[in-house]
Structure 1
Amino acid sequence: FQEDNKTLAVPLDVAINKIGHNLHNLDPVFERVSYSTEVKNILKSLNYTRPMAVQSMYIFKQPSIGGEVKPHQDGSYLYTDPQSVVGFWWALEDCTLENGCLHGVAGSHLTVPVRQRLRRTTKEQQEHNGGLLLENVPETVEPFDVSKSQPLLTKKGDLVLLHSSFVHYSEANRSPHSRHAYSIHVVESKDVAYPADNWLQTTDNEPFKPMYEN
């Protein structure tokens, strides 16, 4: 937006940040990819017994205006007990340093446990926090050390798998080229709890559904 916060700075078709979070169930094209045999075979090789796709996103990372995504762990946002989320991230265009490729800290999935989670607040909490619907627990944590991060340069069609504890981020896209990507996040549901106060919830009419069951 412009400084008046009302006028789009770019045309609408290149102003969209992302579309989510249920494309994998609502759109036939994304459903076919998300529930493909190839995806299921990867999950089976990772010993998932009853996996559920709980989130999907089409990420545009628009030219010149695509914002940065700060260092984070997916397990903070799609928390399970024990941790189980894995991200499937497909590059739909070549991802370079210039257009905001992913960066990651090699080995962080083994050395940096998930230290924070985003959760829904109760009505009682909202009465005392100004009506905020979500909160980080704990509220603040030490910044991630990304001094040894590496760029994940990917070609169109490449797939990146993201462990729940893997520290990753992307810088702003200041190039004239977009950096489209599609991602789904999958959690284990057998003997694993998905908390009722996770920020992302489904409805009784359309609960999370297993991708398969061994």
Structure 2
Amino acid sequence: MKEPHALVAELVPFLLARGYAPGERAPSERELAERFGAGRPQVREALSVLETLRLIERRPKSGIYMTTESASIEALALFAELGIPLSRDEIDQTAEVRRIQELEAIRLACRRHREEDIDALRRCLDEWDHALATGGPVGELDREFHCGIVRATQNAVLLRLVNIFYLMTVRQREYYFRDRDRCRTSDAQHRRIFEAVLDRDEDRAAELLGAHLVSAGSYWHELIAD
């Protein structure tokens, strides 16, 4: 008997690779069960996950239909977890959305941050220094810092949205931060951003964060282009 998560990991690449157009009918539960050697209840449970993510729609007495155009943002995180590559356009658009959200977030953080938010950012920067000194990984610390800024907005929904983008790029950030010079550069940029937030200087914080995101984005853009 296949676990639902394992079956989802097989179903998603299969459905996407077939290139079904939005609204096009996909194979039935019975056909999918036969193809993947699973029971109908297991297929039904896996399809429930895909329906929750709005990748498919199950219509009574009609069948299963693709709805990828209305897929939730969580679906992108699932694709990343399953190793399904995004298209060039999707990568560019994802980076654009992240930039829009974080630039507004840092302005809100300058206005709304509390003492505990500042303390958490300081701890993150201290841990970054320790990682640099010991050769430890910093990819997760990068997520903690950026999400720490968003957490300081006191907007839990915004934090959940931004965090999804970081969950999507776990592997990419691990690769990016293998270069220790890049780690040190990012650390210095984070510290300047932190000081601007601490001073509640919205314009300076947004300017520094914008430059920071552009520098990282340019690296990935050139890498993909090659």
* TM-score normalized by the length of structure 2: 0.23
Greater share of strand: 1
Greater share of helix: 2
In terms of Rg, which structure is larger? 2
